[in-house]
């Protein structure tokens, strides 16, 4: 199994453009220990609160007329972070992603116009089949971002994000301890986990 370039949160804070360098060179980058412990815990608590109130909805695949709920393709339940039911950590997270978007526009001239992100809870045994985040009929999603909100994850808990790099080699990322940023044209899948798996998936879009 191959690996990804990786930055830690301090290096990312000191020089965010290093993320752009990694995307340009490799199409993907792992950012260790981002978000910070306090934001991570705030997001996790916010997601748990929404979940306990039944505010998460089964995710759909496709868009417009082709939109459908397909538990065989993806098993997660989600809530968009710009929903007023979400708490302050969701707004902070979106503000960070907006900064990353601005940085990527300055460095890579991607013309990204907006950011969207949702909380996602995958039940034990549920995954997301191999896919691209760019829809067949729309290339609006350009950059994908996933932050993991799990604690105490063991190797045999499963639930890795399997990402096919530009050179076609797969990388498995356990869903803990940071975030991954990758070009939305790259194929990836969520392997089933033995436990519930919590994350935020986000996209930077050209409109």
Contact residues for ligand OGA, defined by CB under 6 A = 120, 128, 133, 146, 161, 175, 188, 190, 199, 201
Contacts of 144 (CB under 8 A, 6+ apart): 133, 181, 182, 183, 184, 186, 201, 202, 203
Are 176 and 193 contacting, i.e. CB atoms less than 8 angstroms apart?
no
Smallest separation, CB 188 to Mn ion (Å): 6
Smallest separation, CB 144 to ligand OGA (Å): 7
Closer residue to Mn ion in complex, CB, 42/164: 164
Contact between 46 and Mn ion by CB under 5 A: the answer reads no
| Angle (nearest 5°) at CA 131 between 126 and 137 | 130
How many residues in the shown chain lie near Mn ion by CB under 5 A?
1
Smallest separation, CB 173 to ligand OGA (Å): 7
In the region spanning residues 109 to 168, those forming contacts with Mn ion, defined by CB under 5 A, are: 133
Q: Which token pair is 18? A: 């290093």
- Three-state secondary-structure class, residue 72: coil
190 binds, among Mn ion, ligand OGA, none (CB under 5 to 8 A by kind): ligand OGA
Residue 84, CA atoms < 13 Å, CB-side half-sphere: 0
100 binds, among ligand OGA, Mn ion, none (CB under 5 to 8 A by kind): none
| Footprint of Mn ion (CB under 5 A) | 133
């Amino acid at each position: 199994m191959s690996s990804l370039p990786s930055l830690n949160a301090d290096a990312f804070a000191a020089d965010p453009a290093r993320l752009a360098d990694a995307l340009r060179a490799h199409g993907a980058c792992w950012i260790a220990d981002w978000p910070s412990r306090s934001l991570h815990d705030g997001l996790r608590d916010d997601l748990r609160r929404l979940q306990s109130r039944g505010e998460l909805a089964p995710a759909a695949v496709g868009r417009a007329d082709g939109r459908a709920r397909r538990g065989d393709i993806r098993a997660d339940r989600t809530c968009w972070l710009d929903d007023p039911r979400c708490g302050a950590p969701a707004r902070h997270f979106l503000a960070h992603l907006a900064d990353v978007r601005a940085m990527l526009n300055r460095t890579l001239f991607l013309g990204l116009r907006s950011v969207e992100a949702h909380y996602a809870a995958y039940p034990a045994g549920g995954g997301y089949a191999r896919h691209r985040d760019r829809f067949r009929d729309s290339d609006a999603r350009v950059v994908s971002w996933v932050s993991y909100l799990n604690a105490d994850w063991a190797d045999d808990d499963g639930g890795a994000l399997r990402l096919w790099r530009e050179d076609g080699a797969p990388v498995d990322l356990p869903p803990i301890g940071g975030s991954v940023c990758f070009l939305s044209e790259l194929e990836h899948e969520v392997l089933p986990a033995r436990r519930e798996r919590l994350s935020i998936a986000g996209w930077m879009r050209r409109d």
